[in-house]
Chains A and B, each alone.
Chain A
């Protein structure tokens, strides 16, 4: 099968206006992927499915990734010659830039007909807050239906063109998307005899906050552990 770079070049030749990039995986698995621009993703997906060399007729898995905003410090070393004629100095200039966060949907495509795969396709949203729409690939691969609904449920990516975009695992009244990195867990700790590790740390913090609130407002509390749960 073609490498990701060959595939990218072929896609760019076929769709000259499309944004297609190869994302290499430096790890041992070497699962390189194609990053598609959202605008042409649907057309490219249909091409990947119907192309006689590829015939990627089966989407085995769709997963979501949350990439929060991150600060990156770039260090540039430059050599400054000493005007007095001495040895030149090496000066480090550090620039901090903020890489905006985005959400990503990753599709794993195989060919049942030609017995090859996977070809991994990524789609990225513009940001994590208001521009979180991606084109749905469910019309191309029927098996994306529930998986895109799960990503919508847990990551909050809105798939335009999905035939039935509802929450899959959580109930409709639920707000928030629990798989996002900035999701705040419900603070509903109760006393338990065997708390340990991280749960114990968080439960202690919760109990301390409850005790402080009870001390600040001297209202008779029936059971201090239940007041905030």
Chain B
């Protein structure tokens, strides 16, 4: 189907005309399903997120527990952990990212095709956690990757991971396919390959991707 950007009026959800959610729900009860291409596409994608199968520390144990029968991540369509980044949609950074591991994590991210998402799971992946001022742990994966969802906890329970996944699904369902606010993967002007840092004498070089992340300013200065 050919679509020109000028044909589509950018209205808040629902994309189809001026119909309200209540009217749509009323029609649905009579067996008429009204939807938009955008909504259908995002619904399909958000219910089939394939994570890349890799774990870094104790958070990975909770991630594995979330995939087992007790918590069952399959209820949310994300049970197919792919061993290849080429087939994955979601990178769950589950655990401590050491400076030795960080370039490899960025490389895996670069190897994943769009659309792709990143969850920083646990205190270490968010900020370095208890190892923040150590010599060998990255102070948060958001220095090198665009993180979509942060899940706090040390480690977060499987329910927290599932909640993070639901949050990510909501984010995907809200994505636009056209217009100035279109999602990253439908745009040609956004490069989502990030430079891989080198190993330096004491830290990674550069120690952060300044295009993605800048240190918080002190409120006193």
Contacts and interface: CB of A to CB of B under 8 A. Distances in A.
- The answer to whether A and B assemble together is yes
A185 B133 contact: yes
Given A185-B133, A229-B207, A174 B215 contact: no
Contact of A173 (B127, B201, B216): B201
Contacts of B199: 171-174
Given A174-B201, A223-B215, A185 B135 contact: yes
A169 B135 contact: no
B136 A190 contact: no
Given A169-B136, A188-B207, A229-B207, A174 B216 contact: no
A204 to B, nearest CB: 11
B66 to A, nearest CB: 28
A188 to B, nearest CB: 7
B100 interface: yes
A176 interface: yes
Given A171-B99, A171-B199, A225 B215 contact: yes
Interface residues of B, number: 21
A225 B216 contact: yes
Given A169-B100, A170-B136, A192 B201 contact: no
Interface string A200-211: 001000010001
B18 interface: no
A170 B199 CA distance: 10
A103 to B, nearest CB: 19
B180 interface: no
Interface of A: 169-176, 178, 183, 185-186, 188-192, 199, 202, 207, 211, 223-226, 229
13 contacts: A169-B100, A169-B136, A170-B100, A173-B199, A175-B201, A175-B202, A186-B203, A189-B133, A192-B127, A202-B133, A225-B215, A225-B217, A226-B214
Interface of B: 99-100, 127, 132-133, 135-136, 139, 199-203, 207, 214-219, 221
